[in-house]
A = this chain, B = another copy of it.
Amino acid sequence: MRGLTVDALNPNVLKVQYAVRGELAIRAEEYRERLETSNHGLSFNKVISSNIGNPQQAGLDQPPITFNRQVAALMEWPALAELAKDVFPADVIARAKGLQEEIGSIGAYSHSQGVPFIRKNVAKFIEERDGYPSNSNHIFLTSGASAGVTLLISLLISSPKSGVLIPIPQYPLYTATLAYYSGVGIPYHLDEEAGWATSAPDIEASIQKAVKEGIEPKALVVINPGNPTGSLLDEPTMQNVVRLCEQYNLVLLADEVYQSNLHSPQTHPFTSFKKVIRALGSPVPLVSFHSISKGVTGECGRRGGYFECTNISEDVIAMMYKMVSVVLCPALGGQVGVDCMVRPPRPGDASYPLWKAETDATHAALAQRTKTMAARLNALPGVSCVDSPGALYLYPRIRFPETAIEVARKAGKEPDALYALELLEETGICTVPGSGFGQKEGQYHYRLTCLCPGVEEYVSALERFHHGFIERYGGL
């Protein structure tokens, strides 16, 4: 027999690219293993995974929220309530008891759309956030936001001419999923000079160009706060985006997973697309995604999230339900995590003071590190970096010496991939080259997270490397 070869596989699979866990991340894993041997011969003693927003990863410094984990432990082992009654706050024990009454065992499949009680709590959270009603039957709990995004893209791609507008730079889940389901990505560029702003006229120009090329635009993806940019949309821009969707009959896919990662909420607040659409009385079909992996929760490993459908008909929702039922249900641990995120302790609850202290510390540390890192990166020769008002990342732009560009091209690499590779090899810091997110021709970036054990050691290593790199390739 011939066996199974790559060229016998689904050709779409070969086209999928996902740089966040691509070549560099694989090499970083190898280095991590080598570091455990005595003569590893590496010029660093730990790998810092700045390639992925993974707040609780070993070596990073965002601890889990105590309230969430105490509830989770009680869900696993309900008899713990008696054992822990003098240790766990009363509201934790009451919360877990309430959830147990609704869920039963977390070892059982739930409703495929997620536990009805938890979906009702999500609806209340959305209502409080936006001031408009939310219907729990239009909410789907998911295994992280990625599962929801994948489902929606796969539902909307009805032919190889179906297109989805995606911001450039973008989180590569979108291009990967489009490649997998034979859809066409229609890029629209964010404006780096204006702090990675979104421009409705630029989006419209992209729509018109795609239509001329025979593409049928079906949906528009907006990531707000941005990934990798950290930018936040203002309400007038959001209104213009909604009107565009109306005009071109587009489904709006709002990736809002960083909605609580705000570093300057006074000057750069978050507004949901749900609120804007309801305020405008717009009929635009909207699916908005949220997750427990980011924010102050940072519980990536639980795989929890949700999406809410607005202006989507019941028969389309029935199709979504059918599709999620094939894979049975999202993980219950993630669903409980969603409940904790949308129902945090309130003032007066026994858990509140600790919850407040923990979440304040996480917000403050992230805001401070982002600011410091942006300032120090901006002071480097050839580097300019928008000081992100949100999310977990910086996306600095780098001007390279001509020699570096030539050397990279000769090795068949993008120059920013060469830079990120040498950064990893010299410092153990793993980032993602801008070519993985998309960038304008001739421009180069990389994405790094602002999650790190201490900013001084981390940024100093970045600085030393950068100076050495520029010098090594003949200077700017």
A residues in contact (CB < 8 Å) with B = 1-6, 8-11, 13-14, 16, 18, 20-22, 25, 29, 52, 54-58, 63-64, 69-70, 72-74, 76-77, 80, 83-84, 87, 104-112, 143-144, 146-147, 150, 154-158, 173, 176-177, 180-181, 218, 245-247, 249, 251, 283-285, 293, 298-303, 311-313, 315-316, 319, 322-323, 325-334
On whether the beta carbons of A283 and B3 are closer than 8 Å, the reply is yes
User: How many whole Å from A251's CB to the nearest CB in chain B?
Assistant: 5
On whether the beta carbons of B57 and A323 are closer than 8 Å, the reply is no
On whether the beta carbons of A56 and B1 are closer than 8 Å, the reply is no
User: How many whole Å from A423's CB to the nearest CB in chain B?
Assistant: 21
List chain B residues, Cβ under 8 A from A157.
10
List chain B residues, Cβ under 8 A from A181.
10
List chain B residues, Cβ under 8 A from A80.
73, 80, 84
On whether the beta carbons of A300 and B319 are closer than 8 Å, the reply is no
On whether the beta carbons of B315 and A303 are closer than 8 Å, the reply is no
User: How many whole Å from A150's CB to the nearest CB in chain B?
Assistant: 7
List chain B residues, Cβ under 8 A from A332.
301-303, 333
On whether the beta carbons of A6 and B319 are closer than 8 Å, the reply is yes
Copies in the complex: 2
* Chain B residue nearest to A292 in the complex (CB): B107
Which of B4, B56, B331 lies in contact with A301, CB distance below 8 A?
B331
- Known A83-B83, A105-B301: A331·B333 in contact at CB below 8 Å: yes
A456 to B64, alpha carbons, bound, how many Å? Answer: 47
User: How many whole Å from A62's CB to the nearest CB in chain B?
Assistant: 9
Which of B3, B10, B14 lies in contact with A313, CB distance below 8 A?
B3
On whether the beta carbons of A300 and B316 are closer than 8 Å, the reply is no
List chain B residues, Cβ under 8 A from A302.
106-107, 331-333
On whether the beta carbons of B301 and A329 are closer than 8 Å, the reply is yes
On whether the beta carbons of B56 and A107 are closer than 8 Å, the reply is yes
A322 to B14, alpha carbons, bound, how many Å? Answer: 9
* Chain B residue nearest to A287 in the complex (CB): B4
A118 to B5, alpha carbons, bound, how many Å? Answer: 28
* Chain B residue nearest to A66 in the complex (CB): B77
- Known A54-B109, A57-B109, A104-B56: A11·B249 in contact at CB below 8 Å: no
- Known A106-B302, A303-B331: A4·B52 in contact at CB below 8 Å: no
A16 to B329, alpha carbons, bound, how many Å? Answer: 17
Which of B13, B313, B327 lies in contact with A147, CB distance below 8 A?
B327
- Top 8 nearest A-B pairs by Cβ distance? A21-B325, A301-B332, A73-B77, A333-B333, A58-B104, A331-B331, A56-B105, A73-B76
User: How many whole Å from A70's CB to the nearest CB in chain B?
Assistant: 6
On whether the beta carbons of B326 and A158 are closer than 8 Å, the reply is no
- Known A3-B285, A144-B328: A54·B108 in contact at CB below 8 Å: yes
On whether the beta carbons of B58 and A1 are closer than 8 Å, the reply is no
A212 to B312, alpha carbons, bound, how many Å? Answer: 44
A-B contact pairs, 19 of them (CB 8 A): A2-B249, A3-B285, A10-B156, A10-B157, A10-B158, A11-B158, A20-B325, A58-B104, A69-B107, A70-B77, A72-B76, A73-B74, A105-B301, A143-B327, A177-B326, A180-B326, A301-B331, A303-B303, A333-B333
